[in-house]
Structure 1
Amino acid sequence: MLKNIQEWLLVLCIIGGVILIGNWIGYDILPIAALPGMSVLILICLTGLIIGKLVPLNIPSIAYIGVLGFILTIPGMPGSEQIVKWTADVSLLAIATPILAYAGIGIGRSWADFAKLGWKTIIVGMCVLLGTFLGSAIIAEITLRLQGII
């Protein structure tokens, strides 16, 4: 278990460093300003991973991480205002970029397995991406029109 925790912590710190750099380059937030928020996010992730290993239920660790983050930021919870303040300095897109890059590398490493799924999978994937994009654009258009912004 200790070896798992060390590996998780190393990976989380590496990804956290990449996120801090992306946050700095993309959103002009200095890494030292975003470090407390990133540290909190790393600790929440690490705690969720540990809970996922200790609890004998077959629930993914991401569920524990999400619930823990939700509980810690409930208004009125001790320290929630500080956690929200710190994590506000870490941009969501700065977090998503390295995660999506890692997912892309993972798919790229198993390209042969992906190719075995056939050409229909590529078409379905393109339709899913197109549908997600168009759905998001329609929702944004309706919302902005209702608010009178456009």
Structure 2
Amino acid sequence: MLKNIQEWVLVLGIIGIVVLTGNWIGYDILPITALPGMIILILISLAGLIIGKLVPLKIPSIAYIGIIGFILTVPSMPGSDQLVKWTADVSLLAIATPILAYAGIGIGRSWADFAKLGWRTIVVGMCVLLGTFLGSAIIAEIVLRFQGII
């Protein structure tokens, strides 16, 4: 278990550095400004991963991470305003970029396993991407027209 925690801390630390850099380059938020929020997000993620390993139920760690984040940011929770303020300095897109890159590397490392899934997986993946793109475009079109921007 200790080896897993050490690996998680290393990976989350690397992702944190990449997120802070992306946040700085893409959104002009200095790393020192976003550092408290990034540390909070890393600690919440680490706590969720540890709980996911300790609890014998077959619940993914992401569920525990979400629950911890939700509980800590409930308005009646002491300190929630400060947590929300700190994490607001970390852009969601700055977080998504390294995580998606890490997932891509993970798939790339096991390309043979990915190929074993067959052509249907590629078709389903393309349909998901197309559906997400079209859905986002339609929603954006409706909202922008409703607001009179276009």
**The two structures share one fold, judged by TM-score above 0.5:** yes
Unmatched tracts of structure 1, length 5 or more: none
Please give the TM-score of this superposition, normalised by the length of structure 1: 0.93
C-alpha distance in structure 1 between counterparts of 2:133 and 2:69, whole Å: 28
Listed one character per residue, the Cα deviations across residues 70-110 of structure 1 (whole Å, up to 9, x for unaligned) are 11111121110000000011000000000000111111122
Listed one character per residue, the Cα deviations across residues 90-138 of structure 1 (whole Å, up to 9, x for unaligned) are 0000000000001111111222222333334323322221111001111
C-alpha distance in structure 1 between counterparts of 2:114 and 2:75, whole Å: 44
C-alpha distance in structure 2 between counterparts of 1:53 and 1:119, whole Å: 34
CA change 1:7–1:117 in 2 (3 A) is closer
Residue of structure 1 equivalent to 2:52: 52
C-alpha distance in structure 2 between counterparts of 1:17 and 1:56, whole Å: 32
CA change 1:30–1:127 in 2 (3 A) is same
Unmatched tracts of structure 2, length 5 or more: none
Residue of structure 1 equivalent to 2:66: 66
Cα RMSD, aligned residues only: 1.4
Please give the TM-score of this superposition, normalised by the length of structure 2: 0.93
Q: Secondary structure at the match of 1:72?
A: helix
What percent identity do the matched residue pairs reach?
A: 86
Q: Runs in 1 of length 4+ with deviation above 6 angstroms?
A: none
Residue of structure 2 equivalent to 1:36: 36
Q: CA deviation at 1:37?
A: 0.2
- Mean Cα deviation higher: 114-123 or 77-86: 114-123
Q: Secondary structure at the match of 1:113?
A: helix
